[in-house]
């Protein structure tokens, strides 16, 4: 009985902590109006990513839009029938836009998290252990730096059928180098601080010191680069889809732009171009704006003045 109420108390405390943390973040972001705007855009994007395909009024690929006389509506301007107009193939632009958010969302989220997680771990281990471990991991980082991302991704995607998850893996497999280097150099300075040394002196194991004492202190920069990773992954996904190397089974914003570009209708069909182009531009910019707001706080050298 007493143990139960105790654990319940702990849970409440924990929930309070989390709530306090979320409120702190929210208060912090509210001070920066640009970052707040970014949060709103990101929230809208997450909503589209989760529910967009269900909201689409028509099937984005199968269903042809027909006018009152039953003929297929090709390249028709926005109207009551199709709120955002139709494509050259007679498909509903609004439905494609709604459905196309999902692959962008999946690749962005998981590509970003993968980038952040791999980079954080490599940087942490490399910086903490030093010596040959550091040497091996950093040369591996150099290697991924020297293999140009876009060309290599295009090459890899030609001999396997592109799928959303494969693209996520390729993107994370190439982008982890960025956080790895930054986290490593952070770890190098944290490692020398007194509390780390005292942890070691009081008998903490290497693994424990690394995870409990060094890790939390470089976590903010890990999160920052995860955010940037999300923006990079979205940009990369859109670019690959635009070049025709995207998942052929799914409508995505990049693929919509490819179709309008390839079909040569960019000059007339602005209603076909603007939704996906604006969608991609808005989400990548928003993620970066939020990241920047945090960077001002995380980077100790920038915050000294003022």
Binding site for other proteins (CB under 8 A): 34, 134-135, 138-139, 142-143, 145-148, 150-152, 154-156, 158-159, 184-185, 188, 231, 235, 238-239, 242-244, 257, 261, 266-267, 270, 273, 277, 280-281, 284-285, 287-289, 292, 299, 301-302, 304-306
Of the pair 9, 248, the CB lying nearest other proteins is at 248
DSSP conformation letters of 178-229: HHHHHHHHHHHHHHTSHHHHHHHHTT--HHHIIIIIIHHHHHHHHHHHHHHH
What's the CA gap between 299 and 302, in Å, rounded? 6
Closest alpha carbon to 187 in 130, 142, 146: 130
Taking the complex as a whole, how short is the minimal distance between the CB of residue 15 and other proteins, in angstroms? 35
Taking the complex as a whole, how short is the minimal distance between the CB of residue 290 and other proteins, in angstroms? 11
DSSP letter assigned to residue 65:
P
Taking the complex as a whole, how short is the minimal distance between the CB of residue 245 and other proteins, in angstroms? 9
What's the CA gap between 257 and 284, in Å, rounded? 16
Maximum Cα interatomic distance, the chain, rounded to a whole number of Å: 83
Of the pair 65, 138, the CB lying nearest other proteins is at 138
Of the pair 58, 191, the CB lying nearest other proteins is at 191
Taking the complex as a whole, how short is the minimal distance between the CB of residue 35 and other proteins, in angstroms? 11
What's the CA gap between 263 and 156, in Å, rounded? 26
Taking the complex as a whole, how short is the minimal distance between the CB of residue 50 and other proteins, in angstroms? 23
Of the pair 67, 220, the CB lying nearest other proteins is at 220
Distances (CA, A) of 171 to 144, 180, 253: 12, 15, 17
Of the pair 29, 65, the CB lying nearest other proteins is at 29
Closest alpha carbon to 249 in 239, 241, 260, 238: 241
Of the pair 140, 199, the CB lying nearest other proteins is at 140
Helix, coil or strand: residue 94: helix
């Amino acid at each position: 009985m007493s143990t139960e109420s105790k654990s319940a108390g702990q849970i409440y405390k924990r929930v309070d902590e989390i709530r306090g943390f979320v409120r702190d973040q929210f208060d912090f972001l509210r001070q920066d109006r640009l970052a707040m705007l970014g949060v709103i855009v990101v929230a809208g994007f997450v909503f589209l990513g989760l529910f967009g395909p269900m909201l689409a009024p028509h099937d984005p690929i199968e269903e042809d839009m027909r006018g009152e006389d039953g003929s297929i509506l090709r390249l028709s301007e926005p109207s009551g029938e199709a709120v955002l107009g139709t494509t050259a193939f007679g498909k509903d632009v609004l439905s494609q836009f709604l459905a196309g958010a999902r692959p962008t969302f999946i690749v962005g989220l998981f590509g970003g998290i993968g980038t952040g997680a791999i980079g954080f771990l490599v940087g942490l281990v490399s910086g903490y252990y030093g010596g040959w471990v550091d040497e091996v991991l950093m040369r591996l980082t150099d290697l991924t730096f020297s293999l140009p991302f876009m060309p290599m991704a295009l090459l890899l995607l030609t001999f396997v059928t592109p799928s959303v998850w494969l693209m996520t893996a390729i993107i994370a497999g190439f982008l982890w180098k960025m956080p790895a280097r930054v986290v490593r150099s952070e770890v190098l300075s944290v490692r020398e601080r007194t509390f780390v040394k005292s942890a070691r002196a009081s008998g903490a194991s290497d693994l424990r010191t690394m995870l409990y004492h060094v890790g939390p202190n470089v976590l903010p920069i890990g999160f920052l680069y995860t955010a940037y990773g999300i923006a990079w992954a979205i940009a990369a996904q859109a670019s690959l889809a635009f070049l025709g190397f995207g998942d052929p089974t799914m409508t995505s914003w990049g693929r919509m732009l490819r179709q309008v570009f390839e079909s040569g209708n960019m000059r007339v069909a602005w209603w076909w171009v603007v939704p996906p182009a604006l969608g991609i531009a808005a989400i990548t910019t928003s993620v970066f704006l939020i990241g920047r707001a945090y960077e001002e706080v995380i980077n100790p050298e920038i915050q000294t003045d003022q």
